[in-house]
Amino acid sequence: MKKLIVTNVYKSYGKNRVLNNLNFDINSGDIVALVGVNGSGKSTLIEIVCGIKKYNSGAILFNEIDITDKKALKNTKKEIGYMPQNFSLFNDLTVKENLK
């Protein structure tokens, strides 16, 4: 059974705390919504879980494997879908090149 465990995750940008000791578990089949005002850390959290951004401290486990392990993160990325809110395709590349 797949599971995401976030334990005491802390992320700041300078003195601005974005995530402050965040804790939660998500089991396979769970439906989760992140709700909050602009600047509350929703996108930052997703980008951290996907390995796009680094966090200051805490632990994130996906299927009991620490995602800071580069091999584990590579496998994690195969399991998680992420669509950024900004359009980020390159017009001069083919669809296949953009996907790579």
Which amino acid is located at 12 in the chain?
A: S
Contact predicate 1/28, CB 8 Å: yes
The model's confidence at residue 85, banded by pLDDT at 50, 70 and 90, is low
Sheet of 57-62, strand order: 16-27, 3-13, 57-62, 65-66
Q: What share of the chain is helix, strand, coil (3-state, %, to 5)?
A: 25, 30, 45
Ordered by where they begin, the domains of the chain are 3-99 (3.40.50.300)
- pLDDT tens readout for residues 25-71: 999 889 888 899 988 999 899 889 888 899 999 999 988 888 887 77
**pTM given for the model:** 0.75
